[in-house]
């Protein structure tokens, strides 16, 4: 079983739609969680950290479920500019290395 | 501006050659990482370093080597032993473990092609 798993998609949605991605992780000792965005042929950039109580940043909402070992990202009112790959990242105590999921591709169309 | 810089952006290598990818950061981060990304794939860890003069192998270290002589610098050498080196290479850095919000910051990447 991979440490961090994501549905690769693509998720193909119209502008204005709400879309949600999930990510599961295998190590129950994982301590820090993040969502990154990666545009085609570019480096990943931090979208948001994921806190235990859940957190929101504008149209983006992140949730953490430790019991079921998954995190989620909800995007409301999708824009064309949201089209990208969204990477789930988990850091586990000890070496604290960022471990990446394969990414979920989102395509927002007019 | 603080950040992490990789060079070159594009690199072409002949088979049998060693090449070195540069990674420099001025964020005062202790930890640095090298990842490889293949088309349609996630990031796979090659090497990482938590402190100067120390580094550890990641999941796919074979055919690669690194050094960490300075806190700011973590160069990656792709040796001729790496059988399939064509890929997008990403360097990252972060704060030490135990610090909240220890997100990783990335350089712009180096796209290596074997010709």
In the prediction, which pLDDT does A92 show? 80
* For B56, nearest residue in chain A (alpha carbons): A95
Candidate from B43, B102, B105 with C-beta closest to A96:
B102
Contact state of B94 with A98 under an 8 Å Cβ cutoff: yes
Contact state of B88 with A100 under an 8 Å Cβ cutoff: no
Percent of chain B surpassing pLDDT 90: 71
Res. B101: pLDDT tops 60:
no
In the prediction, which pLDDT does B96 show? 67
Q: Provide the mean pLDDT of chain B.
A: 91
pLDDT per residue, tens digit, chain A (110 aa), is 678 999 999 999 999 999 999 999 998 888 889 999 999 989 999 999 998 888 999 999 999 999 999 999 999 999 999 999 999 999 886 667 899 999 999 999 99
In the prediction, which pLDDT does B1 show? 66
- Count other Cβ atoms within 10 Å, centred on residue B10: 9
Contact state of B90 with A32 under an 8 Å Cβ cutoff: no
**B30 vs A contacts (CB less than 8 Å):** none
Q: Which of A4, A5, A44, A101 to mutate to test the interface with B (most CBs of B within 10 A)?
A: A44
**B88 vs A contacts (CB less than 8 Å):** 41
Contact state of B94 with A34 under an 8 Å Cβ cutoff: no
Contact state of B98 with A34 under an 8 Å Cβ cutoff: no
Minimal Cα–Cα distance from B107 to chain A, Å? 7
Percent of chain B surpassing pLDDT 70: 94
Q: Which long-range contacts (CB under 8 A, 24 or more apart) does B102-106 make?
A: B102/A32, B102/A91, B102/A96, B103/A34, B103/A46, B103/A49, B103/A89, B104/A46, B104/A89, B104/A98, B104/B33, B105/A46, B105/B3, B105/B4, B105/B25, B105/B27, B105/B29, B106/A43, B106/A44, B106/A45, B106/B4
Arithmetic mean of pLDDT, B49-69: 95
In the prediction, which pLDDT does A51 show? 86
In the prediction, which pLDDT does B97 show? 60
In the prediction, which pLDDT does A84 show? 97
């Amino acid at each position: 079983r991979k440490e961090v798993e994501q549905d690769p998609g693509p998720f193909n949605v119209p502008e204005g739609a709400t879309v949600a991605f999930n990510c599961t992780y295998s190590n129950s000792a994982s301590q820090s969680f993040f969502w990154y965005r990666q545009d085609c042929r570019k480096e990943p950039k931090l979208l948001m950290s994921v806190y235990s109580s859940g957190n929101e940043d504008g149209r983006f909402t992140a949730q953490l479920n430790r019991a079921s070992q998954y995190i989620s990202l909800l995007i409301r009112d999708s824009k064309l500019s949201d089209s990208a790959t969204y990477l789930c990242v988990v850091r586990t105590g000890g070496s604290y290395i960022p471990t990446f999921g394969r990414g979920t591709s989102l395509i927002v169309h007019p | 501006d603080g950040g992490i810089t990789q060079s070159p952006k594009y690199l072409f290598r002949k088979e049998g050659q060693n090449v070195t990818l540069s990674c420099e950061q001025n964020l005062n981060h202790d930890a640095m990482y090298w990842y490889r990304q293949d088309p349609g794939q996630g990031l796979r860890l090659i090497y990482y370093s938590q402190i100067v003069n120390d580094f550890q192998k990641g999941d796919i270290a074979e055919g690669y080597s690194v050094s960490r002589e300075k806190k700011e610098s973590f160069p990656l050498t792709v040796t001729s032993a790496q059988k399939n080196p064509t890929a997008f290479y990403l360097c990252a850095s972060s704060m030490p473990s135990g610090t909240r919000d220890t997100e990783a910051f990335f350089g712009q990447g180096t796209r290596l092609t074997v010709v």
